[in-house]
Every structure is written in structure tokens, then in C-alpha cells.
Amino acid sequence: MNILELPLFPLDTVLFPQGLLPLRIFEVRYLDMIKRCHQSSTPFGVVSLTEGSQVQHPGSGGERFNRVGTLARIIDLSSPQAGLLLIRCQGEQRFSVQRSEKLRHGLWVADAELLPADAEVPVPPDLQNSVQMLRKLLQQLQEQQVPAEQIPLLAPYQFEDCSWVANRWCEMLPVPIEVKQQLMALDNPLVRLELVGDLLERSGWS
């Protein structure tokens, strides 16, 4: 069992492996944590909230979060003013929280078991439509000369891989966070892409 000790960042979003996550950091509990992770080049864990708020308020209740999350590694960091960090993170390996604890200053830490990476599964012919639509979307953004840092897909692009294609659509589709969490937690990337294909049809994308 591969257990990792890491700080957690409960958020109102779901991070997928190889996904892009921009964040504005201004709470003291996270400013210190992000600085330490950046200086040591270590990841932190992103978990999606089931109760509570990602920003602490006086008198607010506690947070509850899903036990399966994704490691986030900082790829860009800037500090436009004191007490504010702007970061961009990339999703890495998924993990399962085995034990968690909230420290006195509000930061969550956990012992987490790293989950196996998705197997590389080629996109089958009957799901190629999801690949074509994703390629078209990326082409449109490039033709519009959208700055690279604003494109919601991080290179390298892996259009031939079920997991990568499914994850990118999961990030962009307007579905509830609970659905995104269920999709991220699936172990079978082919099943995830099949479900994404159904969601694309229902959303009118295909």
C-alpha cells in the first residue's frame, strides 16, 4: 500500500488527472501551505466538498469532503500583492483518503493511499465523435488566438487515449459536481468515456 502524507484543499470542484486548476489563494491556512508545496516541489491533495464552504467564515460549520481526490502540482505561481497568490496546478495521480485531521489553524492533512493510474486504452471507433469534437474545440480556441495559459487543456494532447479524452470532457461539461466526482472515481477509463458520450448527447454537443 502506497501511503502519502499530504495537505488537503477541499474545493467546490473536481480535479482530474492531467487537468488544469487555476486558484486564487488568500486564506492564511492555504498561503502557508502553497508556499511550502511550491518551495519543496511537492503536491497537495484536492478533494471535492460535500458540506461546508471552501472559504472559512466566522461561525461557519465544518467541511466534509469526498474521500477520493487528485494530487495537484503547482506549475505556475505569482504574487501580485501581499496576501494573494495566483497559481495554476496540474492534476496528477488519484488517491483515497485513509485518515484525515483538521489542524488548529484550519488546514486539513491526510494519510492518503495512491490509486493506480488509468490503463492506456485506445478510443474505440464508436466513441471517436467525442475525440473529433474535442479536437474541433481546441482548434477553434487556437484560431481565436486565445493565449496558451487560458486554454483549458494542458499539452501534451492525448486524443488517442480514453482516459485523457474522458477527463477533459468531464471538466468542461455542465453537470453537477456529484456526477463529476463519480466519473473521476471510476477505475475503468472506457466506461468513463462511454458515460461522457451519453452526457454529450444529452447536452446537445454531439
The full DSSP string for 128-184 is HHHHHHHHHHHHHHHHTT--GGGSS-PSSP-TTBHHHHHHHHHHHS---HHHHHHHH
Give the tens place of pLDDT for each residue, 40-70.
999 999 999 999 877 766 556 678 999 999 9
The domain spans of the chain are 3-114, 125-203
Architecture of the domain whose range is 125-203: Orthogonal Bundle (1.10)
Does the model's pTM come out above 0.85? yes
Q: State residue 52's pLDDT score.
A: 82
CA distance to 18, 152, 153, 154, 166, per residue, from 148 (Å): 16, 9, 9, 9, 21
pLDDT of residue 33: 95
Say whether 125-203 and 3-114 share the same fold: no
First to last CA, the chain: 41
Q: What integer pLDDT is reported at residue 206 of this predicted model?
A: 56
Q: Whole-angstrom Cα distance, residue 198 to residue 34?
A: 37
Alpha-carbon distance 49 to 168, whole Å? 21
How is residue 9 written as a grid cell?
A: 484543499
Tens of pLDDT, residue by residue, the chain (206 residues): 689 999 999 999 999 999 999 999 999 999 999 999 999 999 999 999 999 877 766 556 678 999 999 999 999 999 999 999 999 999 999 999 999 999 988 899 999 999 999 999 999 999 999 999 999 999 998 899 888 878 889 989 999 999 999 999 999 999 999 999 999 999 999 999 999 999 998 876 65
Query: Which homologous superfamily does the CATH classification assign to the domain defined by 3-114?
Result: LON domain-like (2.30.130.40)
pLDDT of residue 57: 60
